[in-house]
Amino acid sequence: MPARQSACPSGRRAAFRHARLPEQSGGQAGVFFVDGIFLFQHSARLSKTSVQPTHSRAIPFPPGFRKARTPILASLGLMYALYYTGRYNLLSVANKTLTTEFGWRADEWGLIINATLWAYAAGQIINGIRVDRAGGRRIMFIGAVGIVAVNILFGFGMFVRTLSYFVGMGILLGFFQAHGAPSLVKICASWMRMNERGTFTGIFGMINQCGRWAILLGGGWLVAHAPWQWLFWAPAALIAIGATVFVFVVRNNPEDLGFPPVEQDDVGHGIEDTTPLHIGEIIRKVATNKYLWMIAAAYFCTGVIRWGVDSWYIRYLQETYDMRTDSFTYAVSAFLIPISAIAGSFMAGLLSDKVFGARRGPVAALMYFMSFVMLLLFLYFPGPILSVVFLVILQMFINGPHSLLGGAAAMDFGGRKAAGFASGLVDACQYLGGGLFAGSIIGSIMQSYGTIPGTTNITAAGWQAWIFVLMGFTILGGVLMSVLWNVRPRK
């Protein structure tokens, strides 16, 4: 036995060893309910198991498990937070700086947003399947290496200076960024029980936002005081350091360290057959779950809202209120926006787990509708201070459904065997929405109202159109999640 498995002595492993349960008859597929969550079971493979999470709660974790899990989850969260620094530098902070540097119109900049987000969406599907076969640790490390390389190449765009070069780099960045979310969800699904996932989703939402916080503050300072290339090179250096720590600390699942699976029945046997599914079984398990598709449709709306705000709001503040990215007001917004997003993650996770019995629909619906209210206030009560206040509060209601539906819901529906693909499918819909509307469509709509003469600045009418587009998708997302409001667990 390898030395790293010594954390679980042989006696304990024997007590928690797998027991293959009798196979149920038939080859039917169906939807059933556990703790208020829809789960899909395909009996051709999963009928060999008996899923009884209510019993699993009564089985305590083995000695040493929590101590072993903590650094793994911490390193995982840190790695994904650093992923954010290599994404938001382009999609949020760089907008005004690069369009001014190269003289691009809003719709031209929108092409870079399109390319990045659509490549991310495609990568989510591809990497969701890969991670369910190869494991989250390997896929996430590959993604980190790719992000480092692409951010370095972005800086060398100063010598190329063509839109097509930056579109191409956006495609590569989006693809490598898509290695992160499925890997994170896959690893978390193996290390967390179902009744922990909503709360842990909030915790990971907090950690992830720390990366966003770092790039909004640090990136804002860099574009004001250093050559713009450092907006890409500084995150590349941080990600390289984080990837080194990640690959040495993180393990795919408890079994890699000699522990039993986290889901146990009342006599200590694993309730899941942990043999990896074939690709066809992974796709069938996820794609035939109608509730997952409803969540994916709502997540499409989240993509439009999230990236429609994040890709343009800094430029809005710069052009509308002449706000510098090294000013006090900008620094306050950059400091508070991630904190508000963190609060939204925690609020959504805790309310979902503790108040609504692990139902994700009610919390998500309420937060979509509150996003509409905040955008309405943002539109009709302008001003540099009020705009920042509304943007900060808005981030709470955007990030709640984002972290809840893309994290906890994907783990619930996919289980540990298909959590990567479930996460990839749902998150892909977010980035399809973001790429379709937040990029060239919103850019073209704003550009259609013209620019201020002698500049590339968008007119006030163009910015109002931006807000109206976002408001429409908050209503649509809220309606979709309201359909799942009264879903109750099977008694």
Q: Are 206 and 81 in contact (CB under 8 A)?
A: no
Q: Whose structure tokens read 């990497």?
A: 127
Task: Flag whether pLDDT at 356 surpasses 50.
Answer: yes
Separation CA 409–CA 419 (nearest Å): 9
> 240-298, pLDDT tens digit by residue?
999 999 999 999 988 888 888 886 543 344 445 555 556 666 666 666 677 778 888 99
- The conformational region for residue 268 under phi > 0 = left, psi -120 to 50 = alpha, else beta, is left
8 Å CB contact between 173 and 164: no
User: With contact defined as beta carbons under 8 Å apart, do 273 and 20 qualify?
Assistant: yes
- Percent of the chain residues topping a pLDDT of 90: 51
Task: Please give the C-alpha separations between residue 34 and each of 31, 194, 258, 406, 487, in angstroms, as whole numbers.
Answer: 10, 9, 28, 19, 11
Which residues share a beta bridge with 451?
458
pLDDT of 150 higher than 70: yes
The mean pLDDT of the chain is: 81
Tell whether the torsion through CA atoms of 249, 250, 255 and 261 is positive or negative. positive
Asked if residues 228 and 98 have their Cβ atoms less than 8 Å apart, the reply is yes
Judge contact between 154 and 232, C-beta under 8 A. yes
* Stretch among 45-54, 298-307, 308-317 having the lowest mean pLDDT: 45-54
Query: Which of 344 and 114 is assigned the larger pLDDT?
Result: 114
Of the listed ranges 7-11, 235-239, 382-386, the one predicted with least confidence? 7-11
Q: Which residue has the higher pLDDT, 310 or 452?
A: 310
pLDDT for 409 equals 55
* pLDDT reading at 56 higher than 90: no
**pLDDT confidence band for 117 (50 / 70 / 90):** very high
Q: What is the mean pLDDT of residues 423-442?
A: 85
Among 13-27, 64-78, 417-431, which is the least confidently predicted range? 13-27
Predicted confidence at residue 107, as pLDDT, reads: 93
CB 415 within 8 A of CB 427: no
Amino acid identity of 64? G
Q: Length of the chain, please?
A: 491
Q: Dihedral sign, CA of 60, 133, 247, 338?
A: negative
Residue 239: pLDDT band (50, 70, 90) is very high
Section 171-176 average pLDDT: 96
Residue the block writes with tokens 């996932």 = 197
pTM: 0.78
* Tokens (6 digits) for 245: 């720590």
CATH 3.20.20.80 for the 76-253+276-482 domain, yes or no: no
Residue 410: predicted pLDDT: 54
- What confidence score (pLDDT) does residue 403 get? 77
- Assess whether pLDDT exceeds 70 at residue 439: yes
Q: Map residue 16 onto helix, strand or coil.
A: coil
Q: What is the pLDDT of residues 31-51, one digit of tens each?
A: 322 222 233 333 333 333 333
pLDDT at 206 over 90: no
Of 95-109, 268-282, 346-360, 420-434, the least confident: 268-282
- Report the half-sphere exposure of 468 (CA within 13 A, side-chain side): 9
Rounded Cα distance between 302 and 296, Å, is 9
Buried b (16+ CB within 10 A) or exposed e, 64-80: bbeebbeebbebbbbbb
**In the chain, domain spans:** 76-253+276-482
